[in-house]
Every structure is written in C-alpha cells, then in structure tokens.
Amino acid sequence: MAGTEEEKTMEKIKMTTPLVEMDGDEMTRILWAMIKDKLILPFVDLKTEYYDLGLLHRNETRDQVTVDAALAAKKYGVAVKCATITPNAARMTEYSLHQMWKSPNGTIRSILDGTVFRTPITIPSIKPAVRSWKKPITIARHAYGDVYKNVEIRVEEAGTAKLVFDGANQHEEVVIHEFQGPGVLQGMHNTDKSIRSFAHSCFKFAVDTRQDLWFSTKDTISKKYDARFREIFDEVYQEYKSDFERLGLEYFYTLIDDAVARVIRSEGGYIWACKNYDGDVMSDMVSTAFGSLAMMTSVLVSPDGKFEFEAAHGTVTRHYYKYLKGEETSTNPMATIFAWSGALRKRGEIDGLPELVEFGNKLEDACFDTLNAGIVTKDLVNIMEGVEPTPVNSEQFLKAIRANLEKRLA
C-alpha cells in the first residue's frame, strides 16, 4: 500500500487552463475512465471541460455536442478525445438512432480546419516488418474533401455524364463520359483554403518536430486537381524555406507511387504528407508495419495552433461485447494513454507549466518501462523479440504502468 500512502501526501500537479475532454464509446470509453482513475487523477489536479461524445448522447443532442466540443477546442486550444462510433445501418438499429450521424472526427476536423498527424509508438522489442525502418514515420493526412465529401450517382441507362460549374463570372462544362449502359459516377472537390491550411500545418509541424517533410500526389495524371495541391505546397514552402535551411531540413515532392517505393527503402524519421484517402490508407499500413494500430498516436493540428489528441484506432467493439458479458479483456490502451500524455504535455507547454510537461513525459516513460519489462496486452505477444512477454489483462497492464509511474515521480 506504499503507493497509496504516497499518493495521500503527494501534492498534485497544477493546471491553469482546462483541457477539452471528449468522451467516447464502447471499450475505449471503459479504458478512458480507468486511465483517468489510475494514471492521471492521483497525480494531476485535472481541469477539463467535459463533453460526452458517446453515440447515445450525440443522438440525444442531434450531434450538437460534437459541434460544441469542437468549438471548445478552438477556444481553449488543446483537446483530448476518446475513440467514437461512426454509425452504419447496423448501428442505427442497435442504438435506435434518429439518423446516421456523421463521423465526429470529420466534424471536428472540419471546424478546426486541421491536419491529422499519426506516428507509431516504437519499442526495441517490436521490430518493424520493413527491416530498413529505424525511426518512426509520421503520416500527415489532409482531413478535408476528396472521396470523404464526394457525391455519387448510380447510372442505370445510357446517357451523358457532365461536370458543370456555374459561377458569377465562370461557367465550365465538360463531358465526363458517354455511358452506353449502367455504371457509376463520383464527384469530388477541394478548396484552395483547405489545401493551404494543410500545407501550413505540415510545414509548421516539420519545423516544430525537426523532421524532413515529404509530399506526394499524382499530378502527372490529375493535372488540375492533384496539381493544385503541389502548386499550393510549393507556394507555402517559400514562407518556411529559411527555417528549413536553418534547421537542415528538406522538403521533398514526388509522385505517390514513387513515394511508396522510397518509403519502403527508407530508414524512416520524416513526415509523409498525403491527401485524404492516401493518408487514410497509408497510416494504417505504416502503423501495422511498425507493430500494431493500438501503438499509434494521432494529433489533429490546426494552422492557428490548436491541438486535438486521440488514439488512432476504433472503439474495440469485440472486446466491449466480451466486457459486457463479464469476460476478461486484454485491450491495449497505449494509444489512448499517449493521447492523454500528449494533451497534458502540450497544455503544459502553452501555459508554461514545466511540471505538467514533465508528467506527460514520465507517463510515457512508465509505459515504455512496462513494455520493455515484457508486461504486455495480448495483441503484442506474438510480435515481440528478445523479451519473454507476460500477457496480462487491461487492468493488470494499467496497474503495472501505475507502479512504474510512481517510481519515476518519486
């Protein structure tokens, strides 16, 4: 009971500005409460402005709570978010929803005008599947437009498909395809404003983290759409060129297929900026190749310096159903813990609270201490090398991290 006695006498670390706390769904909601209770509240005088983004409450508020949470993130500057359900038809029935609510992440990204940066959490005993990788690769995903805001038509007969733009001073009409029979159509868009915000976020993040920036599209095929991304990145880079040169950093543009080949042959240690769909796919590829999607940090960064930290994975539905039956689960909480540590550290940096910054660092170090000792959740057992892993359930894993955190804070 030494830790408990120490907790009684330990003065908690102070905060001055609240975090925006966005609760979530299913197994990650259970872990969220456990992480707060075991790893944060005993040590930090936690100040948060709380928003329940669980699907039932989003349904009750007709998703207004998601908008309110995003606006609070804009106001306070730092948010931490639990994984949430994006409902499909099955969820409509399961939760008796008023409608199929949009992705909370998509809503928040749109309001913050942010870019998602995802970086794997690496440890020596989990080797990347790509043996040349020695450093983490951060995926910067443009979080607006493309296929995620598309419109589609199912064509049932022969006819002419056209792309039309009607403006006050511009009218353009081009034939997409002359259909001879059934098919499908898809229309996508993006805006200069959003692309420019994406570019600024990427260059700022590269400077802040002292990493090279790679950017890739397919502008040889998409000579207007993808080319516009390249043109804007080239323009925005001029504003950061002196910083890049001063820090010895490189900005590098290439085609997406060439980028994939270069990434596989590289040692890692850079930011790879991708359009929305490319970033969606490549972040999962990179996280899996580095070990596990549960070992992937995610932070949404706006051009004006607002931050929202979250886990890169979903709500772990299968484990949640086991939990509801009273069965033991071994769900990996690492990405969710790192969302909290990242948010607390950033809040400390902005508010000039070195003790809060140090707590965020020590919380992550305690996680590494636990993993390096071989105490792991079951998802990591078969991919560890050089360490004899001891699989434990989620509660035991958090308890082990708590013990290591107390040692580091002593």
Say whether both 86 and 4 belong to one domain: yes
Say whether both 137 and 284 belong to one domain: yes
174 is a domain residue: no
* pLDDT of the residue at 298: 93
381 is a domain residue: yes
167 is a domain residue: no
Which segments in the chain show pLDDT lower than 70? 1-9
* pLDDT of the residue at 59: 94
Find how far residue 163's CA is from the centre of its chain: 34
Say whether both 283 and 368 belong to one domain: no
* pLDDT of the residue at 293: 80
* pLDDT of the residue at 1: 42
CA distance 263 to 249: 17
What CA–CA distances, in Å, run from 128 to 121, 286, 294, 370? 11, 9, 14, 20
> pLDDT (tens digit, 9 = 90+) per residue, 114-148?
899 999 999 999 999 999 999 999 999 998 888 88
Say whether both 146 and 265 belong to one domain: yes
* pLDDT of the residue at 102: 87
Angle, CA 122 vertex, CA 317 and CA 45 arms, to 5°: 70
Say whether both 99 and 12 belong to one domain: yes
* pLDDT of the residue at 284: 86
Structure tokens at 306: 């607002």
* pLDDT of the residue at 291: 84
* pLDDT of the residue at 9: 57
Domain boundary among 233, 259, 290: 290
What CA–CA distances, in Å, run from 184 to 5, 86, 89? 66, 25, 22
Decide: pTM greater than 0.85.
yes
CA distance 378 to 226: 42
DSSP H helical segments within 270-379, as ranges? 276-290, 317-324, 334-351, 354-372
Say whether both 337 and 253 belong to one domain: no
Which domain CATH number covers 364? 3.40.718.10
* Boundaries of domain holding 279: 127-150+188-290
* pLDDT of the residue at 4: 52
Give the number of domains in the chain.
2
165 is a domain residue: no
> pLDDT (tens digit, 9 = 90+) per residue, 46-61?
999 999 999 999 999 9
* 8 Å CB contact between 6 and 35: no
